[in-house]
């Protein structure tokens, strides 16, 4: 298994391989870049078929967090961790405690948050042995509502703000009354995005593989029910993908009728060149890691004591960042995803030796 010459290595600052035979813990922590601050990213538990698959996943995800946090102007670097194993069978308190002890050994260079296969209670178990876990503190969210740590409401608000910026840029309108939007995936984020859109007067089409989730949006938000086959190809203004990634590919892009793509799901492009394919079709794509940064913003602020207004203002910055991306894309002819990567690189390469603040706040809050 290659490490330094791994195709996804991309000059990672640090990689740790943890093994604890007593509890069965096998984990990898990847820290991509800390020039803006300590690396914050999810701790994923997944039954990887090989060590190679786990390494590839953690490297790719960790790098993505550097870009997401930099683009969101947070004093955070990028990192991620993976625990190799089936969370339904192998996730024990002892294993999570062992993970917490290992994280403590990294001295706060990496801070773990919830991800697929781990939950807020799991992070709290790790937190018995380290203060370097985040997303577990009850706090007041951007809207003044109490939050148990779930960042989905903030993510959804950021997506709504970003969607409005995209609509303004592409369609030249600020009033969303009558705007036609198709939302794919009516889960924690998708339902709330749909709710914001409904409140703003938009007309909604929805699809979710779980009929109950879809019916809720039909009953409570007056949305039209769509089908799995149709949801991406309806004659609407905007597609808001809030389910899974890799849906924009050689097959789907030629059939899209909407001219704006703005949703929460990660890694929407199946291949990097689909960025250009969307631009060639005149479709404005709001890069996923720019528009869905509300969650990381929420986690960052949970322990800083910032007021809801400050958090809200930061989340609303997603709209300004996207507007900058769209303008640069128009003037350079470069597709929006590539522009977002360049803008993120400008933001994390410029910053070195900054941001002890989050460390201090972290230490002070325990
Ligand atoms: P969720 O699991 O609550 O919701 C996902 C929904 O999509 C579920 O209702 C599920 O039934 C549905 N779904 C799954 N496959 C589908 C398909 N093929 N077609 C239609 N619907 C399908 O997850 P979430 O927290 O709402 O996150 C949604 C997306 O946003 C994910 O891709 C996630 O990675 C991304 N995201 C979430 C956050 C956050 O704060 N929760 C932050 C950043 C990015």
Tokens of 127: 């937190």
**pLDDT tens-digit map of 133-182:** 998 888 889 999 998 888 999 999 999 999 999 999 999 999 999 999 99
Of residues 352 and 81, the one with the higher pLDDT is 81
211 lines ligand 1 (CB under 6 A): no
**What DSSP letter does each residue of 28-44 carry, written as one string?**
EEEEEE-SSSSEEEEEE
**Mean pLDDT confidence for 328-343:** 98
Q: What is the pLDDT of residue 359?
A: 53
**Mean pLDDT confidence for 67-78:** 96
Nearest residue (by CA) to ligand 1, atom 25, is: 188
134 lines ligand 1 (CB under 6 A): no
What ligand 1 atom has the least distance to the C-alpha of 244?
32
30 lines ligand 1 (CB under 6 A): no
**Domains identified in the chain and CATH numbers:** 14-136 (3.40.50.10860), 146-344 (3.40.50.720)
230 lines ligand 1 (CB under 6 A): no
**pLDDT tens-digit map of 181-234:** 999 999 999 999 999 999 999 999 999 999 999 999 999 999 999 999 999 999
**Residue in 26, 68, 80, 131 annotated catalytic:** 80
Q: Assess whether pLDDT exceeds 70 at residue 306.
A: yes
Q: Ligand 1 mean position to 336 CA, how many Å? A: 23
Q: What is the pLDDT of residue 366?
A: 42
- What are residue 263's phi and psi, to 5 degrees? -155, 180
**Mean pLDDT confidence for 113-126:** 94
Contact 238, 167 (CB under 8 A): yes
List, in order, residues 6 or more apart from 355 with CB less than 8 Å away.
36, 37, 38, 75, 76
Pairing type for strands 39-46 and 224-225 reads: unpaired
Nearest residue (by CA) to ligand 1, atom 27, is: 189
- The closest alpha carbon to 300, from 12, 31, 41, belongs to 41
Q: Assess whether pLDDT exceeds 60 at residue 358.
A: no
Q: Assess whether pLDDT exceeds 70 at residue 67.
A: yes
Distance from C-alpha of 17 to C-alpha of 50, rounded to nearest angstrom: 14
185 lines ligand 1 (CB under 6 A): yes
List, in order, residues 6 or more apart from 318 with CB less than 8 Å away.
72, 158, 161, 162, 165, 290, 291, 293, 294
Active site residue 80: yes
- The closest alpha carbon to 295, from 220, 193, 210, belongs to 193
- The closest alpha carbon to 159, from 297, 43, 309, 341, belongs to 297
| Mean confidence (pLDDT) of the chain | 94
DSSP letter, residue 77: E
Q: What is the pLDDT of residue 351?
A: 59
Instruction: Spell out where 171-310 has E strands.
Output: 180-184, 203-207, 224-225, 238-241, 260-261, 284-285
**What DSSP letter does each residue of 210-221 carry, written as one string?**
SHHHHHHHHHHH
């Amino acid at each position: 298994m290659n490490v330094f010459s791994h195709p996804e290595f991309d000059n990672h600052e640090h990689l740790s391989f943890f093994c604890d035979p007593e509890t069965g813990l096998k984990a990898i922590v990847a820290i991509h870049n800390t020039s803006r601050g300590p690396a914050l990213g999810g701790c994923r538990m997944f039954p990887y078929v090989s060590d190679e698959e786990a390494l590839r996943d953690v490297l790719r995800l960790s790098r993505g967090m550097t870009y997401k946090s930099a683009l969101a102007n947070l004093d955070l670097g990028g990192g991620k961790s993976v625990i190799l194993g089936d969370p339904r069978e192998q996730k024990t308190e002892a294993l999570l405690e062992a993970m917490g002890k290992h994280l403590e050994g990294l001295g706060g260079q990496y801070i773990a948050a919830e991800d697929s296969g781990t939950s807020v209670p799991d992070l709290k178990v790790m937190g018995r042995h380290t203060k370097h876990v985040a997303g577990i503190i009850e706090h007041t969210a951007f809207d003044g509502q109490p939050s148990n740590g779930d960042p989905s409401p903030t993510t959804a608000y950021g997506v709504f703000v970003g969607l409005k910026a995209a609509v303004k840029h592409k369609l030249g309108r600020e009033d969303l009354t009558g705007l036609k939007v198709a939302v794919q995936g009516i889960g924690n984020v998708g339902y709330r995005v749909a709710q914001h859109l409904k409140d703003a007067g938009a007309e909604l089409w929805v699809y979710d593989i779980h009929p109950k989730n879809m019916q809720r949006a039909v009953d409570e938000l007056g949305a039209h029910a769509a089908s799995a086959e149709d949801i991406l190809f309806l004659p609407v203004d905007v597609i808001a993908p809030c389910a899974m990634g890799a849906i924009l590919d050689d097959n789907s892009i030629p059939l899209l009728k909407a001219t704006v793509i703005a949703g929460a799901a990660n890694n929407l492009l199946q291949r990097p060149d689909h960025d250009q394919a969307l631009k060639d079709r005149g479709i404005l794509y709001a890069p996923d890691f720019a528009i869905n940064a509300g969650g990381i913003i929420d986690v960052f602020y949970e322990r800083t004591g910032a007021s809801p207004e400050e958090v809200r203002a930061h989340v609303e910055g997603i709209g300004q960042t996207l507007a900058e991306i769209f303008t640069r894309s128009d003037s350079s002819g470069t597709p929006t995803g590539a522009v977002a990567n360049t803008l993120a690189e400008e933001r994390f390469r410029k910053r070195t030796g900054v941001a002890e603040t989050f460390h201090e706040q972290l230490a002070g809050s325990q």
